[in-house]
Amino acid sequence: MSAEQENHPLEDWQASVAAARLEKCPQSVIEMIPYASFIGAQAKIENDRLLYWLEKRPTNIGNPSLPALHGGVIGGFLELTAAVEIIYNLDIAAVPKVVDFSLDYLRAGRYKTVYAKCNVLRQGKKLINVTASAWQDDENTPIATARCHFLI
């Protein structure tokens, strides 16, 4: 979209983010990141919080005999949601840079939709700490939790 056009990519990016916030449409922020459509990640606002989900796709399978979702896709999805949470909610100039990422796999990701929510635990001048949690049937039985540091 406009963010990828030449001349003033950063200004275009910021304008697109501002427009998305104004329209309360996190989906258009997530669509600006090509990796999101590669795995099929989507976002919406529910009860004033961002809710992300990853629709089931054969291309996200890791173990075809179960079938189970690829652990890397769940990790990538959570890292993506953490970044989108920052881009959409916090007033920062550019795309945040991930410094480290820690992931706990709690249950196998079955071949169905995965949901995720994030929490920004701390926003410093340079560093942001975000946690993300992914679940399938019930928010209280997460399949994976992640913790992420971003530099801004």
Q: Which stretch binds other proteins (CB under 8 A): 22-30, 34-42, 44-52, 121-129?
A: 34-42
> Apex CA 139: angle with CA 102 and CA 68, to 5°?
65
Q: Which is nearer to other proteins, 9 or 47 (CB)?
A: 9
Tokens (6 digits) for 149: 């540091």
Instruction: Pick one of 17, 20, 30, 39: the residue that binds other proteins (CB under 8 A).
Output: 39
Binding to other proteins by residue 141, rule CB under 8 A? no
Cα Rg, the chain, nearest whole Å: 15
Q: Which of 146, 123, 120, 148 is nearest to 133 (CA)?
A: 146
Exposed, middle or buried by CB within 10 Å (0-12, 13-18, 19+), for 101? middle
Instruction: Pick one of 89, 105, 123, 152: the residue that binds other proteins (CB under 8 A).
Output: 105
Binding to other proteins by residue 104, rule CB under 8 A? yes
- The contact pattern for other proteins, residues 71-100, with x = CB under 8 A and - = no contact, is xxx-xxx-xx--x----------xx-xxxx
Tokens (6 digits) for 55: 């629709």
Q: Which is nearer to other proteins, 43 or 103 (CB)?
A: 103
